Every structure is written in C-alpha cells, then in structure tokens.
C-alpha cells in the first residue's frame, strides 16, 4: 500500500453509504481528473454533477435533423472542446492517463491549424522546427525576430514542463522556484513579462503579430492581459500537437468516469449540489438539491469559483484579504458558439483561426479527421466567437424575444463572415443551433456564462481554500482555462488531498 493509500485508510471515519473519503462537486475535466487519480489511489470518491452527462465544457450530444429530402441525418456536436493539448510525454493529460492506466484507451486524431488573417492564409505545422521554418519563409523580413521569439518561448516552455514533472504535478510554489535557482530561471522571469510586449519587441509585421495573438483566444478575449507564462503552454500545440478524441469530445470524460467507477468511485449525474456542510468551521460534506446529504472530510469543488466561496459555502469568516480578492475577480469571456450540420465537408483542416474586418472567430472542422461525426459526405462544424465580459453580462438583461433576435443577428453576421472562408456555406446548412451566454450559464453553471472561469492577468485562487477541507479545481483557479490546465488543476487538487 502506498503512503497516500495508508493515510486514506486512517482518514476514513465511519462507514456508511453516504460517507466518502472525498466528494467532488462537478464533473468538469478538473473534477473528473482529481476523482480519477484519487479513486486510483483507493480513495472512496463521490462525484456529484448537476448536468445529465459528465464533462462540463467537454460534452457532446447527438442531433438528428431532417435534410431537404426529409431524411434524418445524425450529427455529433461538441460543447466546444475540439483541440486538446497536453498529450506530449511530460504534459498533464498524458500523465493523468498513464497514472490511471488508460494511456492507450482513446484514439487521438491530430488537429492541423490554419490561420486566415486579413487575406493571408497560413497552414502551420505541428512541430517546432517546421513552425519556425514556415513562419520565417512567409515573413522573411521578420525572420531574425521570429527565431529569437520562438527561442525564448521554447526555453520557458521546457522549464515550465520540466518543473511540472519535477514537482510531480503539484503546484510549484514561489519558494520552491527560488530554491531551484537557475534551473527554472526563464520560467520564473516569464510570469512578469507581457506576451504582447514581447511580440512587439521581436516582430514588425502586423499580420504576423495578429497570427501570434489569435491563438490566445483559447484562454482570453484580451491578449494584452497575458503574461508570457499564461501564453507559453498554448505553444504546446506546435510542440506536442493538438488532438481530437475520435468519436467526439465526450469520449475523454466518459473514459475518466469508467476509470473512477472501476475503482469503486461513484458518479451521480443530475445531482446539483446546493450547499457545503460545515462542522466546527471545516468541511464535512455536501447537500444536494434533492435534499440528500453526503459526508466527507475533504471536498474538491469544480464549481464556479464565485459559487464555491459564495452560494455553496454560505456565511463563513473568510480571511479579509482573500474575500477582497475574490470580490475583485473579473470573469473571463463568454461566447457565441454555433454548431452546424452540413451536407458537405468543408475543404479545411480541423482548426481554422480567422480574423477579418476586425471580427475574430475559430472554425472547428473535426469531420476533416473523424468520419463518425456525420453521415458520409456530411460534416459537423463549429464556429466560436468570444464575447467580452461586459457584453456577456448585458445579455442577461434581454427578454426571451430579444435573446432570440440577438442570437439570430449574431448567426447572420458570423455565417456571412464564415462564408468567405467556406464558399457556399449557407447553401449547405442542414441544421444549426446557437449557444449564447445564458446557454453556458445553464449547462456549466458559470457566473455570467463565462467559458474560461476567470479573466487572465489577475490573481486567481490556488488549490487550497482557506476553509479547512475545501479544495478548488477548474478553469477559474490559478492554473487557468483549457483542458490541459483543467486536468493539471485536478491533479493539484488530488495531490493536495493525498498530501494532507
Ligand atoms: C465553447 C468552448 C470551446 C472550448 N474549446 C477548447 C479547446 O478546443 N481546447 C481546450 O483545451 N479547451 C477548450 N475550452 C476550454 C475548456 O473546455 C475548459 O477550460 C475546461 O474544460 C474547463 O473545465 P473545468 O473542469 O474547469 O470545468 P467545467 O467544464 O466548467 O465543468 C464544471 C462542471 O461542474 C458542474 N457544476 C457546477 N456547479 C455545480 C453544482 N453546484 N453541483 C453539481 N455540479 C456542478 C457543471 O455542471 C460542470 O459540469 C473550450 C471551452 C468552451 C466553452
């Protein structure tokens, strides 16, 4: 029995159906990652999820609309995630899968990136040398700057990931970073460096600056707020590459659920948690909307960061500085997400980043690499356009009729813009549906319909809450948004529980 396993046996108090070692609130990628690792270490785990399926932002669903000939066509749509990093050897997703013995359980399809920026089209290779070669050839006047910029990014990337592995996927504290001295020198400095300022120091061509900025839409609508540390992990798409799980995004959370259940963990869907139960100032369990209670000495909250220390916690004497920081937290962006069923497969790679006439959006074309998502000759296509926090906020003041009109207007504008990248798009639409901020608030229970937890470039809560026994995991915490970061925060939370 490993040390954490032994500790767990000692921790468990009492034994009944409603008593667990750890309860995880929310089956997003962070919550499931924490639960999977803990269950693997023989912790008795309960995951309570409000939605009818696990995965949070990483879910999929099936639609069977009828085409012009009244034939029902089956499409698999994703709630958003279609390009996953973190699968290279030292990266968190690969690490988690190998820890739970599932490294070969999914078929990972490589996602190719194209950029279409103000008339320039560029296909970027999924490897570092190729990236430098293609960029230097396309922007010869900036070649020296490109090489210098990529060199700096790569130094930080290698240190960050080596540091992550050296810390065994626990949070790297500032003092540990100081102690490791020169080894993580570049990574330590990167936290205080502005990514955009670095870009502008090395690059002159405005189109190339846009290309380097646009990938940041995976974490923010405001690249100016990003430090080099925030941005560097995204370059993993050109080091280890990005991937799509064959069959749809849902495959990864489903795999984690099977692993949790195989290790005797319990997953309750349609089980919204209404409150944490506290005893003597520390966490003792949860209360479900059904009125049922479940008990554990540790709770990992994958719920919205505001809710974790607000509605779920209730009145609690948080340290004033922590409370103040939570109050000042800015939410990240929300989005318009359009899922299309098409009767043609766009001649595009699986991911296209577009900027034209000031409009920025991403096209996900997984049917280019996965023929199971739509009938032969058809495609499931997604279009994602970020909305800043203030615009997302104003959406909640709309009446149902205004909400419908606003979705229609956005759809018209975005379909017209996408039609310039996919000629004839409108003629091939069999079905489409539009998600807006209220959709995200409904399905992932995030404040303001925020899709990335909290804005970048500000303090975000670390894994350990000031409430004894409460741990935080998810996009709103210090690790940030994206599946790779959510998995890492889940690993942090699992280790925090095991290290108690
Ligand atoms: C449209 C879109 C596109 C994206 N594309 C990508 C991409 O291509 N690649 C990538 O890496 N990342 C992408 N992301 C980001 C990524 O999906 C998220 O950052 C990550 O999945 C967040 O995981 P999480 O664990 O923090 O929480 P979430 O996914 O937000 O899950 C939280 C879960 O907790 C549940 N919950 C909340 N409160 C309660 C409660 N009180 N009781 C019970 N359950 C509760 C929710 O129902 C939800 O299931 C995308 C996100 C969106 C929305």
> How many whole angstroms from 250 Cα to the centroid of ligand 1?
12
Interface ipTM? 0.99
The answer to whether residues 80 and 382 touch, using CB atoms and an 8 Å cutoff, is yes
Cβ of 333 closer than 6 Å to ligand 1, yes or no, is no
User: Tens-digit pLDDT profile for the chain (500 aa)?
Assistant: 344 443 443 344 444 569 999 999 999 999 999 999 999 999 999 999 999 999 999 999 999 999 989 999 999 999 999 999 999 988 999 999 999 999 999 999 999 999 999 999 999 999 999 999 999 999 999 999 999 999 999 999 999 999 999 999 998 766 666 566 567 788 888 988 999 999 999 999 999 999 999 999 999 999 999 999 999 999 999 999 999 999 999 999 999 999 999 999 999 999 999 999 999 999 999 999 999 999 999 999 999 999 999 999 999 999 999 999 999 999 999 999 999 999 999 999 999 999 998 999 999 999 999 999 999 999 999 999 999 999 999 999 999 999 999 999 999 999 999 999 999 999 999 999 999 999 999 999 999 999 999 999 999 999 999 999 999 999 999 999 999 999 999 999 999 999 99
> How many whole angstroms from 129 Cα to the centroid of ligand 1?
33
Q: What DSSP string describes 73-101?
A: --EEEESS---B---STTSHHHHHHHHTT
Q: Which of 48, 56, 254, 480 to mutate to test the pocket of ligand 1 (most atoms within 8 A of CB)?
A: 56
For residue 443, the ligand 1 atom closest to its alpha carbon is: 47
**What does the domain layout of the chain look like in residue ranges?**
3-55+250-330+455-498, 60-84+331-447, 129-241
Cβ of 451 closer than 6 Å to ligand 1, yes or no, is yes
Which CA distances in Å does 294 have to 226, 241, 271, 415?
40, 41, 12, 47
> How many whole angstroms from 312 Cα to the centroid of ligand 1?
18
Q: Which of 482, 485, 487, 494 to mutate to test the pocket of ligand 1 (most atoms within 8 A of CB)?
A: 482
| Sign for the pseudo-dihedral over CA of 67, 72, 77, 83 | negative
Residue 176: per-residue pLDDT: 62
> How many whole angstroms from 426 Cα to the centroid of ligand 1?
30
CATH class of 60-84+331-447: alpha beta
Question: In whole angstroms, what is the distance from residue 276 CA to residue 271 CA?
Answer: 14
Residue 458: per-residue pLDDT: 92
> How many whole angstroms from 30 Cα to the centroid of ligand 1?
8
Cβ of 28 closer than 6 Å to ligand 1, yes or no, is yes
Residue 254: per-residue pLDDT: 98
DSSP state of 443: H
Question: Which distant-in-sequence residues (6+ apart) come within 8 Å of 85 by Cβ?
Answer: 91, 93, 233, 234, 236, 237, 240, 241, 242, 482, 483, 484
Question: In whole angstroms, what is the distance from residue 307 CA to residue 298 CA?
Answer: 17
Tokens of 202: 């090395």
Residue nearest to atom 41 of ligand 1 (CA): 273
Cβ of 253 closer than 6 Å to ligand 1, yes or no, is no
> How many whole angstroms from 2 Cα to the centroid of ligand 1?
32
- DSSP strand pairing (298-301 vs 45-48): unpaired
> Left, alpha or beta for 407 (phi > 0: left; psi -120 to 50: alpha)?
alpha
Residue nearest to atom 12 of ligand 1 (CA): 482
Question: In whole angstroms, what is the distance from residue 290 CA to residue 102 CA?
Answer: 34
- Strand-by-strand arrangement of the 470-472 sheet: 266-268, 45-48, 22-25, 298-301, 470-472
Which CA distances in Å does 384 have to 302, 337, 352?
24, 5, 11
CATH class of 3-55+250-330+455-498: alpha beta
């Amino acid at each position: 029995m490993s040390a954490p396993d032994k500790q767990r046996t000692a921790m468990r108090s009492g034994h009944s159906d409603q008593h667990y070692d750890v309860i995880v609130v929310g089956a997003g990628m962070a919550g499931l990652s924490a639960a999977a690792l803990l269950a693997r270490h023989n912790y008795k785990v309960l995951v309570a999820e409000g939605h009818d399926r696990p995965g949070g932002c990483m879910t999929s669903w099936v639609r069977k609309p009828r085409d012009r000939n009244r034939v029902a066509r089956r499409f698999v749509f994703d709630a958003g995630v279609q390009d996953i990093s973190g699968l290279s050897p030292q990266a968190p997703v690969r690490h988690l899968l190998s820890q739970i013995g599932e490294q070969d359980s999914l078929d990972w399809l490589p996602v190719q990136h194209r950029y279409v920026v103000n008339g320039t089209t560029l296909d970027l290779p999924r490897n570092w040398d190729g990236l430098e070669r293609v960029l230097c050839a396309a922007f010869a006047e900036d070649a020296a700057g490109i090489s210098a910029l990529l060199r700096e990014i790569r130094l930080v990337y290698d240190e960050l990931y080596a540091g992550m592995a050296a810390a065994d996927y626990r949070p790297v504290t500032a003092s540990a970073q100081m102690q490791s001295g020169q080894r993580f020198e570049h990574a330590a400095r990167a936290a205080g460096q502005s990514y955009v300022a670095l870009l502008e120091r090395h690059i002159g061509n405005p189109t190339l600056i846009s290309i380097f900025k646009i990938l940041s839409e995976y974490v923010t609508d405001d690249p100016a707020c990003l430090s080099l540390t925030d941005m560097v992990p995204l370059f993993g798409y050109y080091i280890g590459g990005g991937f799509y799980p064959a069959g749809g995004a849902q495959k990864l959370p489903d795999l984690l659920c099977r692993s949790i259940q195989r290790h005797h963990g319990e997953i309750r869907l349609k089980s919204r948690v209404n409150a944490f139960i506290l005893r003597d100032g520390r966490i003792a369990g949860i209360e479900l909307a059904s009125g049922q209670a479940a008990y554990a000495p540790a709770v990992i909250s994958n719920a919205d960061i505001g809710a974790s220390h607000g509605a779920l916690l209730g009145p609690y004497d948080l340290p004033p500085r922590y409370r103040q920081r939570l109050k000042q937290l800015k939410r990240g962006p929300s989005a318009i997400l359009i899922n299309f069923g098409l009767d043609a497969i766009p001649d595009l790679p699986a991911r296209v980043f577009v900027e034209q006439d000031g409009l920025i959006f991403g096209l996900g074309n997984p049917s280019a690499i996965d023929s199971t998502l739509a009938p032969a000759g058809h495609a499931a296509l997604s279009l994602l356009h970020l909305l800043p926090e203030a615009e997302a906020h104003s959406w909640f003041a709309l009446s149902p009729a205004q909400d419908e009109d606003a979705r229609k207007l956005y759809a018209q504008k975005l379909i017209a813009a996408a039609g310039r990248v996919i000629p004839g798009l409108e003629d091939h639409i069999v079905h489409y549906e539009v998600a807006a901020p209220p959709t995200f608030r409904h399905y992932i229970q995030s404040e303001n319909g925020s899709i990335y937890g909290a804005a970048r470039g500000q303090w975000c809560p670390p894994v350990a809450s000031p409430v004894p026994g409460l741990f935080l995991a998810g996009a709103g915490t210090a690790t940030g948004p994206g599946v790779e970061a959510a998995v890492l925060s889940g690993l942090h939370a699992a280790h925090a529980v095991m290290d108690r």
